[in-house]
C-alpha cells in the first residue's frame, strides 16, 4: 500500500482526469434531473389534490342548491297549476261566447291575460341548471310551454281588437289543451318535488291531459270530444 502525504502533488494522467470530470458532470446532471422530476411529480400531485378538493366542494355546493330548490318546488308548481286553471277558465269563457265557429270582435276582456309568474319560471330554470344526473325534459317543456302559452294568449287579445282578423273556436280550444298540458306537467312533477320519487317522468302523458280537462277543467261532452279531435289532428298544439 502506498501512502500519499497530505499536501503532496499527485500527477494523474490526462485520460483518467477527463474520465473523472465527465463522470462527475454526468452524475451531477442525473441528480439534478431526478430532483426536478421529483419536484414536478409532487407539484402534479398537489395540483390534482387541489382540483379534486375543488370539484368535491363544487359538487356539494350544487347538491345543497338543488336540495334547496327542490324544497321550494311544490310552491312553484302550485303557482303553475293556478296559472293554468285561470287561463283555461278565461279561454273557456271565450269559447262559450263564440258566434258559430268564430269569436266576435272586441269581446276579449281586459283581465283575460293572466300574469306569468316570473319568479316561478326563474326557480324552474334554476332547478334545471342544478339538477345533475336527472332527466329534466319535463321541466324544460314546462318552462318553454308557459312562455309560449302566455305569448299566444297575448296574440289572441291583440287580434281580437282587429275586425279584419278572425279567431276560430277551435283555436281557443287548442289553447285550453295547452293549459291542460301545463297543468298535467306540473302535476306530474309533484311526486319528485315532495320526495315521493327520486326520478322525474320524461314528459306529461296525454292521459294526464285528458284527466285535467275532465276533472280539473270540467270540460265534457261535445266540447271535450271536439278537443280530442283537435289533438288527433295535431292542430296548433304545443
Could you tell me if residue 26 is inside a domain? no
- Report field, pTM of the whole predicted structure over 0.85: no
Q: What is the pLDDT of residue 233?
A: 52
Could you tell me if residue 36 is inside a domain? no
Which positions of the chain have pLDDT values less than 70?
A: 1-32, 35, 44-46, 50-59, 61, 220-238
Number of domains the chain contains? 1
Q: What's the domain range around 202?
A: 70-232
- 52 by Cβ neighbours in 10 Å (0-12 / 13-18 / 19+) ranks as exposed
Could you tell me if residue 200 is inside a domain? yes
Contact at 8 Å (CB) between 129 and 173?
no
Tell me the C-alpha distance between 38 and 35, whole Å. Answer: 5
Tell me the C-alpha distance between 160 and 90, whole Å. Answer: 14
Q: What is the pLDDT of residue 3?
A: 44
Rounded to 10 degrees, what is the CA torsion of 45, 48, 52, 58?
A: 140
Amino acid at each position: 500500500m502506498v501512502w500519499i502525504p497530505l499536501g503532496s502533488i499527485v500527477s494523474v494522467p490526462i485520460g483518467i482526469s477527463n474520465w473523472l470530470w465527465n463522470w462527475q458532470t454526468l452524475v451531477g446532471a442525473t441528480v439534478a434531473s431526478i430532483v426536478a422530476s421529483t419536484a414536478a411529480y409532487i407539484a402534479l400531485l398537489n395540483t390534482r389534490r387541489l382540483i379534486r378538493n375543488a370539484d368535491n366542494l363544487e359538487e356539494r355546493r350544487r347538491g345543497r342548491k338543488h336540495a334547496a330548490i327542490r324544497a321550494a318546488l311544490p310552491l312553484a308548481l302550485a303557482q303553475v297549476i293556478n296559472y293554468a286553471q285561470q287561463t283555461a277558465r278565461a279561454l273557456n269563457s271565450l269559447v262559450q261566447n263564440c258566434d258559430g265557429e268564430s269569436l266576435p270582435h272586441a269581446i276579449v276582456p281586459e283581465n283575460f291575460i293572466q300574469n306569468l309568474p316570473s319568479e316561478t319560471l326563474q326557480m324552474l330554470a334554476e332547478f334545471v341548471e342544478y339538477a345533475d344526473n336527472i332527466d329534466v325534459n319535463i321541466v324544460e317543456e314546462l318552462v318553454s310551454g308557459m312562455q309560449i302559452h302566455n305569448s299566444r294568449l297575448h296574440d289572441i287579445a291583440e287580434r281580437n281588437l282587429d275586425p279584419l282578423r278572425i279567431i276560430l273556436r277551435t283555436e281557443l280550444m287548442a289553447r285550453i289543451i295547452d293549459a291542460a298540458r301545463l297543468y298535467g306537467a306540473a302535476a306530474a312533477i309533484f311526486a319528485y318535488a315532495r320526495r315521493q320519487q327520486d326520478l322525474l317522468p320524461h314528459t306529461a302523458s296525454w292521459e294526464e291531459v285528458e284527466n285535467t280537462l275532465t276533472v280539473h277543467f270540467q270540460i265534457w261532452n261535445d266540447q271535450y270530444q271536439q278537443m280530442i279531435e283537435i289533438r288527433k289532428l295535431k292542430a296548433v298544439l304545443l
